[in-house]
């Protein structure tokens, strides 16, 4: 059975952090729509040029663009045996499109990472990323202010200023939180307590995935069940 996973959660919940761990542990690709868009902006592609201002305001890129990106990415061979989606779907329209794309594939496992807003704001206020490779600083940098992976300069993400973060929270509540209702009736949905250390969150996520994959879909697992 393929592990077809969605990480849901507000900005700063730890979707990227956890998606990377799960992808590495399971040998499946992590598909981060935010990273794909930021790479396009960094590379100066036509799409990058058209989404830059939208992202800098903390707003959502249009559904058609996002569905097109994910349709192409999930169609590649490396996604046949599973994937972790980080940052998609973000609207009910995107979720419905994903259901269509999943026809004939193993069911989606949907993990919603829950963290109080004050903690989200604290994390985003402190986050630093590499201006060259985009990786999030992990606190293990050998040279101050430099990326531990490529040596690039560390900077604040362009949408992590406090005003833009507030806008992202608002948009999350309006457009993305309804996805919890969209998915929570499914037996493959779990809420995970994200307000723990990253290692504890990872352990809860792994336990939830294993329980769901083993078919114990009605048992509580991985943090507070809904
Ligand atoms: P995206 O890149 O997806 O951003 P986001 O959803 O706002 O989420 P973040 O990346 O800020 O947070 P995260 O949950 O990944 O947390 P992370 O692990 O980094 O989207 C950016 C923009 O792109 C959108 O605003 C939109 O414009 C556009 N976009 C993307 N997808 C789209 C779509 N589908 N439709 C339309 N538009 C789209 O962690 C955050 C920080 O906390 C890090 O510093 C991390 O080290 C730290 N941290 C993580 N876990 C813990 C922990 N357990 N304890 C303490 N610190 C922790
Ligand atoms: Mg992220």
User: Which residues have beta carbons under 5 A from ligand 2 (an ion)?
Assistant: 16
- Residue 226 tokens read as 């809904």
* Residue 107 per-residue DSSP state: P
Helix (H, G, I), strand (E, B) or coil at 222: coil
User: Model-level pTM?
Assistant: 0.94
**pLDDT by residue (tens digit) across 126-138?**
999 999 999 999 8
Helix (H, G, I), strand (E, B) or coil at 47: helix
Q: Which two tokens stand for residue 3?
A: 């592990």
| Alpha helix (H) residue ranges in the chain | 15-26, 33-43, 46-56, 63-74, 92-101, 117-126, 162-171, 178-183, 198-213
Which of 57, 64, 87, 159 best tests ligand 1's pocket when mutated (most atoms within 8 Å of CB)? 87
175-187 pLDDT tens trace: 999 999 999 999 9
pLDDT of 211 higher than 70: yes
* pLDDT above 60 for 217: no
């Amino acid at each position: 059975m393929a592990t077809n996973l969605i990480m849901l959660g507000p900005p700063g919940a730890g979707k990227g952090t956890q998606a990377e761990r799960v992808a590495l542990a399971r040998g499946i690709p992590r598909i981060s729509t935010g990273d794909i868009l930021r790479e396009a902006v960094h590379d100066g592609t036509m799409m990058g040029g058209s989404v830059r201002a939208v992202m800098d305001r903390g707003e959502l890129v249009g559904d058609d663009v996002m569905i097109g990106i994910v349709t192409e990415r999930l169609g590649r061979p490396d996604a046949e045996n599973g994937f972790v989606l980080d940052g998609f779907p973000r609207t009910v329209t995107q979720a419905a499109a994903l259901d269509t794309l999943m026809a004939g594939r193993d069911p989606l496992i949907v993990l919603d990472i829950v963290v109080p807003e004050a903690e989200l704001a604290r994390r985003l206020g402190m986050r630093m990323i590499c201006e060259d490779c985009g990786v999030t600083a992990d606190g293990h940098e050998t040279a101050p202010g430099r990326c531990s992976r490529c040596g690039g300069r560390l900077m604040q993400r362009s949408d992590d200023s406090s005003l833009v973060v507030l806008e992202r929270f608002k948009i999350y509540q309006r457009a993305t939180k309804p996805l919890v209702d969209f998915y929570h009736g499914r037996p493959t949905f779990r809420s995970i307590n994200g307000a723990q250390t990253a290692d504890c969150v990872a352990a809860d996520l792994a336990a939830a995935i294993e329980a769901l994959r083993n078919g114990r879909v009605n048992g509580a697992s991985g943090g507070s069940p809904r």
